[in-house]
Amino acid sequence: MWRIRLHGRGGQGIKTASQILGSAGFYSGFQAQDFPLYGAERRGAPVMAFTRISEKVILERGPIISPDIILIGDETLLNDSQSAPLCGADPTTLIFVNSPHPPEKLAQKFSLVTADLTDLCHKHLNKRTIYSSALSAVGARLLGTIELADLLQAVEDELTQQGIVTQALQGNLELVREIYTKIEPAILTPKVEKTLITKPMVLPDYRPVVDGAPIILEPGNMALRKTGNWRVERPEIDYTHCNDCLICYARCPDGVIAVNPEGRPAIDYDHCKGCLICAQECPGHFINTVRETGLFP
């Protein structure tokens, strides 16, 4: 059985990628299982999805702890301790990172494949951050056992269900074809199957009611949580042209653009989620957007 874990952010199509991969595996005659895992948080927050593909019936359930392939759609996640995309990786794990530069440090420890999906998505879909079909194509190609025709069929089926048709669908199919020819199948070492041992049942202990009705006594402490790592693109104010109209300050939903004592707007990058409303709304277009690239551990 091959276990594939996908990492990305809410809104990047990570869940769909796992579905396409599962369907493609199924069409190629395998048993397949796919499901996502995310918390209550939203678009931009780290998301995981899983696909299991096997010749035999899959009896395993639950999240994949030690994957054969890790597909990382957003390289900035490598620095994210909550997401921890490398968790459970060992020397037999193949890691794919969507990145324009091959990360050397990572390559010393793991077998690593990289490609710049962001640019490919931009070329075919005119969107930079929708990795659903791209990431599934990478996964399918790395596995080496999934036929192109089955993959294309899976992309078409899954995307049509989501209402993606005509031109947008053709773009996705083109994208998948290009990735399929670009990436070489990998040599994977099957993991030693562990025998499962049943454990005694865990009985919950009872807690006093106070524990279930917690009170927060520090107002505004949400600022301790940094949402800056949600960003895919970073807004940068061009201060040489900015005329301090403060439209960006008024329009920022998270209130992360503060007005400094000189009356100039300043972006708090620890919390900016990268919605880019400021860049869109700036009357003089004096806010530039720069793609965030992560630093590798």
Partner 1 sequence: MKVLTGAYRKIKDLHPHEAIAPGTGLCAGCGGLEGLRMALKELGDDYIICNAAGCFTLLSVYPFTPLKGSWLYTTMGGPTPAAQGVRDALDIRMRHRGLEEKENLNVIVVAGDGSSNDIGFGATSAAIHRGLDFIYFCYDNEAYGNTGFQLSAASPYASATQTTPSTDVHEAGTEINKKDLFEIWKAQKPVYLATVSPREPIDLSNKFAKASHLKGPRMFICMSPCPTGWGFEPKEAQLIAKLAVDTGIFPVKEYYEGEVVHTVRPRKRLPVEKFLERQKRFRHLFKPHRQDVVIKHIQQRVDEYWGQYE
Q: Closest approach of Cβ 72 to partner 1, in Å?
A: 20
Q: Closest approach of Cβ 211 to partner 1, in Å?
A: 11
Nearer to partner 1, 181 or 280 (CB): 280
**Cβ contacts of residue 25 below 8 Å, gap of 6+?**
31, 32, 51, 53, 140, 143, 146
Nearer to partner 1, 91 or 219 (CB): 219
Angle, CA of 23, 25 and 30, to the nearest 5°: 120
Q: How far apart are alpha carbons 291 and 233 in whole angstroms?
A: 4
**Cβ contacts of residue 129 below 8 Å, gap of 6+?**
9, 11, 12, 118, 121, 232
Nearer to partner 1, 7 or 273 (CB): 273
Crossing angle of helices 117-125/132-143, nearest 10°?
120
Nearer to partner 1, 45 or 134 (CB): 45
Q: Closest approach of Cβ 278 to partner 1, in Å?
A: 8
**Residues of the shown chain interacting with partner 1 in the complex, contacts defined by CB under 8 A:** 10-11, 39-45, 163, 165-166, 214, 216, 218-227, 230, 245-247, 249-256, 258-259, 268, 271, 273-277, 279-281
Q: Of 194, 186, 283, which Cα lies nearest the Cα of 238?
A: 283
Nearer to partner 1, 43 or 123 (CB): 43
Nearer to partner 1, 79 or 161 (CB): 161
Q: Of 22, 35, 45, which Cα lies nearest the Cα of 154?
A: 22
Give the chain's largest Cα–Cα span. 68
Q: Closest approach of Cβ 282 to partner 1, in Å?
A: 11
Q: How far apart are alpha carbons 205 and 291 in whole angstroms?
A: 49
Q: Closest approach of Cβ 83 to partner 1, in Å?
A: 14
Q: How far apart are alpha carbons 118 and 50 in whole angstroms?
A: 21
Which letter does DSSP use for residue 107 in this model? H
Q: Closest approach of Cβ 281 to partner 1, in Å?
A: 5
Amino acid 131 reads Y
Nearer to partner 1, 94 or 275 (CB): 275
Q: Closest approach of Cβ 45 to partner 1, in Å?
A: 7
Strands (E), 84-170: 94-98, 111-115
Residue 271, classed as helix, strand or coil, is coil
